[in-house]
Amino acid sequence: MCGICGKLNFDQNSSVDLALIRTMLDTIRHRGPDDAGFYTARQVGLGHRRLSIIDLNTGHQPLSNEDGTVWIVFNGEIYNYRDLRTFLLSKGHVFKTQTDTEVIVHLYEEFGPQCLEKLRGMFAFAIWDDKTKTLFLARDRVGIKPLYYCQTSKSLVFASEIKAILADPAVPREIAPEIIDRFLTFHYLPGEDTLLNGIQKLSPGWYLLAQAGKTELRQYWDLQFPESPRSLSLREAEDELLELLAEAVELHMIADVPVGVLLSGGVDSTAMLSLAAERTDKEISSYTVGFSDTDVTDERPYARLAAKTYGSTHYDTTISHQDFLDFLPRYVWHMEEPVCEPPAVALYYVSKLAKQHVKVLLSGEGGDEAFAGYSNYRNLLWLERLKRVLPPLNGAAARGLAAANSWLRSPVIAKYAPLVNARFPEYYYSRTSNPFRYNGNGLGGLYSTDFLASIDREHTLQPMRGLQANVRGLNPLDAMLYIDTKSWLPDDLLIKADKMTMANSLELRVPLLDHKVLEFAASLPAHFKVHGFTTKYILKEALKNRIPARILDRRKVGFPVPYESWLRKESRSWVHEVLFDRTTTDRGYFATSAIRELLARDEAVGGYSKTIFSLVTLELWHRTFLEQEQPALNQISH
């Protein structure tokens, strides 16, 4: 796991300053404290920070082919690199290292950009082809590894993190105010845009070619849901799934350093520990986190049960309200994109614990998106079925449906009852966005008159509109899984996973997001994934003889963090201080009276914590990345 950066000047006679590449790398030292490397050749400069995982002694980057005409900087892991290496040796390629990085170089020589189709893993890399004067940027299929870029009329700058791009004085620090509404609508930023003008994310499954002053974006992979699912029995599907998961976990355990497992106390992470323990003769360790607050479910007893069952050496840690509050400036600095993801703070602290023992962690991230683990999927499917059998609902009927919420054990029904007569895309916007903003009775009222007038709602929804256009004709479950896999997963969950673990110079691997696992899951009938009221049905059935019943049968709680209570109680004065500071109010985005009303309502009845955390995060982001306030940056530890 590493950090990469670089710059291409479109003028071939304009050289890239090596000092700039060094400065860019200094900002992302946490991604690779083991080594640093540089390559400059007139118009191009490449930089690399290394966290040594495979081939510890000879894996220095940037790395080239035999004659020095193809250079690469690479972040990630290629899990099938040994098979690819054997193939390339048969083609006459000469290797000087044992790394997966060098495999990409020679694979590019054989296939050009189509080499991406051969790779199985997580990656973000840049290749400079000196013969054709072409820069080739690529990101893995799902978006496990981040890659940002900024194109101007004179150059293209790229990096694993935004802060490295901002180290180039030619890149302006200018906010894109129209993206604020997108963030506060979705609580993250779906799509390619960031909050900074001109800085974009390379989309998962896409690559970029820059040559002769022109750039071109191309898609090389998309998650496909077939019109007709595969015809196989549930037992056959279970057997195939277990075989595929075992293969994926075994590949993800390839490393020349110790590997541990991140445990949440749920089905997915327990499955990863179960499969990992079977596939190593080395001691395996596991890690989890809990909270000093007693108002949330404690995951630690379930994690300890899993560790005892599979014989891992187990460690856990506890964080308090003060730990949470103290970390928020660094949370913003590391996340870079304003994401309302309080569990990320817990992930930071458990990663900090794990770093004392391992360099690599396996995680169960992605199981819910692959196999339909969220209750929203089940509840929205039931709404679709109700719509087919019931006449249009009047207000009384809609309230009756909301009353059924206690039966279905999820607040989502109450939230969607007013939309039960709507088309699927309309109420799915509510699933993926802030319901207050969607229903027009909340966030819109927070904005100042001038800022509200500047908002283009279609621009806010543009990324989701595009995704929903891609799912026309799919059944509702497959449509939801596709949209979440292309938005919520890469732009929220995987950003959190990468940024918080790399903050501690730790590599996180996600076997359930192996593209072969995703493609297999997409090929299955919907009722294999949501069966009656059971979510993630096939995964649970396949694992029922492997995982303790206490874990398999427990109600899904996600990764609970008591931030709602903390914001309303212990952090109340701090929240007020941030949101009513003169610096905040002078930005002109929000009506101060509306913010006061929002906080009062939250303190009285609760339910607004995501919005409040998003507002606080947004303000801290401004201070960190626009004003470059030193208090936040001084707390960054490497």
β pairing state of 44-50 and 35-41: antiparallel
Quick one: 450 exposed, middle or buried, by C-beta within 10 A (0-12, 13-18, 19+)? exposed
DSSP for 437-458, written as a single string: HHTTSSHHHHB-HHHHHT--HH
Among residues 166, 235, 120, the alpha carbon closest in space to that of 103 is found at 120
Q: Check if the beta carbon of residue 310 is closer than 8 Å to that of residue 269.
A: no
Q: How far is the C-alpha of 335 from the C-alpha of 493, rounded, in Å?
A: 11
Give the tokens for residue 290: 């809990």
For the annotated catalytic residues, the residue numbers are 2
Question: 632 to each of 196, 381, 505, 540, how far by Cα in Å?
Answer: 19, 44, 19, 43
Give the phi and the psi of residue 447 in degrees, each rounded to 5.
Answer: -75, 150
Q: How far is the C-alpha of 490 from the C-alpha of 381, rounded, in Å?
A: 24
DSSP for 379-435, written as a single string: HHHHHHHHHHHSPPP-HHHHHHHHHTHHHHT-THHHHHGGGTTS-HHHHHHHHHS-H
Q: How far is the C-alpha of 265 from the C-alpha of 36, rounded, in Å?
A: 37
Please list the alpha-helical segments (H only) found in 44-92.
Answer: 81-90
Quick one: 68 exposed, middle or buried, by C-beta within 10 A (0-12, 13-18, 19+)? exposed
- Residue partners of 408: CB distance under 8 A and separation at least 6: 375, 378, 379, 382, 533
Give the tokens for residue 358: 């391992």
Among residues 75, 77, 238, 201, the alpha carbon closest in space to that of 492 is found at 201
Q: How far is the C-alpha of 171 from the C-alpha of 101, rounded, in Å?
A: 29
DSSP label of 125: E
